[in-house]
Amino acid sequence: MATPHGTARVPPHPSGSSPEAGEVPARDASVPPLVAVVGPTGTGKSDLGIAVAQRLGGEVVNADALQLYRGLDIGTAKLGPEERGGIPHHLLDVLEIAEEASVAAFQRDARRVVREIAGRGKVPVLVGGSGLYVRAVVDAIEFPGTDPEVRAAREEQLRTRGRVALLRELAEVDPESASRVKDDRRLVRALEVHDLTGRPFTSFMPQRRYVAPTVQIGLGMSREPLNERLARRVDIMLERGWLDEVRGLEAVGLRQSPTAGKALGYPQLLAVLDGSLSLPQARDETVAATRRFTKRQRTWFRADPRITWLDALDPGGWESVVERAVGLVRAQYDGAHD
């Protein structure tokens, strides 16, 4: 039977100067490139990441923002230790449910892990569908800091002065951000960044410039079979006890969590627990929300011309997908020796 993660498993295959803090070091002839396996939810990225790591002697680095959370297991299709094909996985289960995820903190931690893997002569394989989290690792992106007091002051101004007044203030110092903000959270954040740095929030927008040699592999699937797979995936998750997982997490603050509580399917199942949705309704809403999410993922990743796309349903079978992915990595690695 198909797993919630997508395609079938692939059998295991044998496998100078200090960088500045936070940087992925440039590769010399003895260090493999960074590999990123990206794409929409449900296509089989986890399986492909494991297969690539098995073939090339690598280790997997999680780049799914929700799999950072301890306890968000079934609903995020997190691989259990026995499902990881003997490959070390990093940055899973590093946050508690009540904590707020930070892409800046993830960037720091993931780049450190990538350095350590490369330092062992292994291939770092970044796997995930959280687009900004992937780019935070592979691209030259600077994240402005935060200050709880400054943010609280701006949130109070939002309550007392109103959205229109703050939007007008933002337009004076950062007209581009003012024209883009679609909700109060982003409005407050843009003002906070300007207060802290004196720079417009748009000046921190990511550039498509790798910080180290990188191979990005996109795993895609046409819409109709992916939609069918997503519906089946939700059904399998429910069969595996997803509602019980949510019930347990509710006891440790899932409803109040600023990040984990908004993960796909979790609000719907919380609604089942409080009686505002039936389980079939929650199932249907989760399937619909997941399909909308994959559409946004597809748009995000397709905008990056550096990604080479593979079809998860390649007519040659899963082994053909794996071989093509490995070939892409080897082509760049071998090219460094030319």
> Does the annotation flag 122 for ligand binding?
no
Whether the predicted model's global pTM rises above the 0.85 cut: no
Q: Is 3 annotated as a binding residue?
A: no
pLDDT tens for the chain, 338 residues long, are 334 344 333 233 333 333 343 444 444 444 468 999 999 999 999 999 999 999 999 999 999 999 999 999 999 999 999 999 999 999 999 999 999 999 999 999 999 999 999 999 999 999 999 999 999 999 998 888 889 999 999 999 999 999 999 999 999 999 999 999 989 999 999 999 999 999 999 888 778 999 999 999 999 999 999 999 999 999 999 999 999 999 999 999 999 998 999 999 999 999 999 999 999 999 999 999 999 999 999 999 999 999 999 999 999 999 999 999 999 999 887 755 45
> Is 46 part of any known ligand binding site?
yes
Q: Which domains are assigned to the chain?
A: 34-141+207-335 (3.40.50.300), 148-204 (1.10.20.140)
What are the two backbone dihedrals, phi and then psi, of residue 218, each rounded to the nearest 5 degrees? -95, 130
128 belongs to an annotated ligand binding site: no
Q: 261 a known binding residue? A: no
Question: Mind listing the pLDDT tens digit for each residue in 252-279?
Answer: 999 999 899 999 999 999 999 999 999 9
Helices 223-239, 279-302: axis angle to 10 degrees equals 140
Q: Is 44 flagged in the annotation as binding?
A: yes
Is there a binding annotation on residue 42? yes
- 8 A C-beta contact, residue 13 and residue 1: no
The pLDDT assigned to 146 comes to 86
Q: Is 294 annotated as a binding residue?
A: no
Amino acid at 158: L
Do the Cβ atoms of 329 and 56 come closer than 8 Å?
Answer: yes
| pLDDT at 32 (0 to 100) | 64
What pLDDT shows up at residue 19?
39
> What pLDDT does residue 336 have?
53
pLDDT value, residue 240: 98
Q: How far apart, in whole angstroms, are the C-alpha atoms of residue 302 and residue 300?
A: 6
